[in-house]
C-alpha cells in the first residue's frame, strides 16, 4: 500500500493546439507534507494543478489521490479531498455576500444547516473576516479577497490544499499573514508559485518543472539556493539570497 497521499505517474497532457504541457511527469507527496512547485512560465505548473483536482484528466499516465485513481467516475470524490485556491480570488467569489461564498461549499456537500453555520462563522473569525460577512466580495480589498478565497476552501476541510500563486497581488503585510497561515495548516499542502521566498518560508520540499518535465527535486532550501540550476531554467535566486 502506498504511503503517499498524491501520486503522479508518467503523466502526459497536450492541449488541442498540440502544445505538450506535461511529459513523463512523476512525483509524489506524503501526508502532511508541504511541497512547493516552481518553474518558469509555460513549465506546466498550472496544468499539473488542474489535474490534481480533476479539471483535466490524464491523457496518459495516472494521478492518484488517497489511493483513488483520477477518472471521470472518481472526479467528484477526488474534488472532495482536494481544495484548490486559484490564482485569482474573483474566480472563487461569486455570491452577493462573503458569508454566502464561504457557506456555499459545505451547503452543497449536504452538511446540516447548524454545522454549516458553525463552520462558516469559525473560519470567518479565524481569517479576520467576520465583520465583513455581509459585504459583497467585490467591495473587499485584494488582500481580503485572497483570504476569503482561502476560507471558501478550508471551510470544507480538504485533506489536500493546492495553492496556485497564492501571493499574487498581496502587499508585504498580507503576504506575511498568508505565510503564517500556510505554516499553521495541518493538512497536506501543494504550493505553485513564482514567489520563491514564499516557497522557501512555507515548504519543506520543492520540485522544479520546465517544459512539462521534472528537472529537480529535493529539500526546498537546497533547490532554491542552487543559483546555477535556477538560472538554467529561467529563474533567479530568492530575494533573500541575492547579493
Each residue's pLDDT tens digit, 211-239: 999 999 999 999 999 999 999 999 999 99
Phi, psi of 67 (to 5 degrees): 80, 0
Torsion of CA 135, 140, 143, 149, to 10 degrees: 50
Instruction: Look at residue 111 in the predicted model and tell me its pLDDT.
Output: 95
What is the band of 206 on the pLDDT scale with cuts at 50, 70, 90?
A: very high
What is the band of 90 on the pLDDT scale with cuts at 50, 70, 90?
A: confident
Do residues 7 and 61 touch, judged by C-beta distance below 8 A? no
Could you give the CA distance from residue 115 to residue 118 in angstroms, rounded to a whole number?
A: 5
Fold of the 6-235 domain:
Rossmann fold (3.40.50)
The percent of residues in the chain predicted with pLDDT above 90, rounded, is 84
The angle at the Cα of 170, spanning 216 to 125, to the nearest 5 degrees, equals 110
Instruction: Look at residue 54 in the predicted model and tell me its pLDDT.
Output: 92
pLDDT at 243 over 80: no
Domain residue ranges in the chain: 6-235
What is the band of 2 on the pLDDT scale with cuts at 50, 70, 90?
A: low
- Mean per-residue pLDDT, 51-58: 93
Instruction: Look at residue 169 in the predicted model and tell me its pLDDT.
Output: 82
pTM, two decimals, is: 0.91
Going 79 to 82 to 88 to 92, the CA torsion angle's sign is: positive
Do residues 159 and 81 touch, judged by C-beta distance below 8 A? yes
Write the DSSP symbol of residue 193: -
pLDDT at 138 over 80: yes
Each residue's pLDDT tens digit, 139-192: 999 889 999 999 999 999 999 999 999 998 888 998 999 999 899 988 999 999
pLDDT at 66 over 70: yes
Could you give the CA distance from residue 200 to residue 210 in angstroms, rounded to a whole number?
A: 19
What is the band of 87 on the pLDDT scale with cuts at 50, 70, 90?
A: confident
Torsion of CA 209, 25, 149, 124, to 10 degrees: -110
Instruction: Look at residue 3 in the predicted model and tell me its pLDDT.
Output: 65
- Mean per-residue pLDDT, 10-21: 93
What is the band of 1 on the pLDDT scale with cuts at 50, 70, 90?
A: very low
Amino acid at each position: 500500500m502506498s504511503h503517499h497521499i498524491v501520486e503522479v505517474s508518467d503523466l502526459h497532457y497536450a492541449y488541442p493546439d498540440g502544445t505538450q504541457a506535461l511529459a513523463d511527469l512523476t512525483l509524489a507527496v506524503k501526508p502532511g507534507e508541504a511541497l512547493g512547485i516552481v518553474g518558469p512560465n509555460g513549465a506546466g505548473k498550472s496544468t499539473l494543478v488542474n489535474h490534481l483536482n480533476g479539471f483535466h484528466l490524464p491523457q496518459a499516465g495516472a494521478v492518484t489521490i488517497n489511493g483513488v485513481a483520477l477518472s471521470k467516475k472518481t472526479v467528484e470524490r477526488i474534488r472532495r479531498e482536494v481544495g484548490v485556491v486559484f490564482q485569482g480570488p474573483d474566480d472563487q467569489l461569486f455570491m452577493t455576500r462573503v458569508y454566502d461564498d464561504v457557506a456555499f461549499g459545505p451547503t452543497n456537500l449536504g452538511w446540516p444547516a447548524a454545522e454549516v453555520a458553525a463552520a462558516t462563522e469559525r473560519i470567518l473569525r479565524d481569517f479576520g473576516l467576520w465583520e465583513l460577512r455581509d459585504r459583497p466580495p467585490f467591495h473587499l480589498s485584494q488582500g481580503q479577497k485572497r483570504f476569503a478565497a482561502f476560507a471558501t476552501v478550508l471551510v470544507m476541510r480538504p485533506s489536500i490544499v493546492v495553492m496556485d500563486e497564492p501571493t499574487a497581488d498581496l502587499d508585504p503585510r498580507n503576504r506575511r499573514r498568508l505565510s503564517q497561515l500556510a505554516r499553521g495548516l495541518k493538512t497536506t499542502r501543494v504550493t505553485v508559485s513564482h514567489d520563491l521566498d514564499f516557497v522557501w518560508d512555507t515548504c519543506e520540499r520543492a520540485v522544479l518543472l520546465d517544459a512539462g518535465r521534472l528537472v529537480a527535486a529535493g529539500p526546498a532550501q537546497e533547490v532554491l539556493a542552487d543559483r546555477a540550476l535556477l538560472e538554467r531554467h529561467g529563474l533567479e535566486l530568492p530575494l533573500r539570497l541575492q547579493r
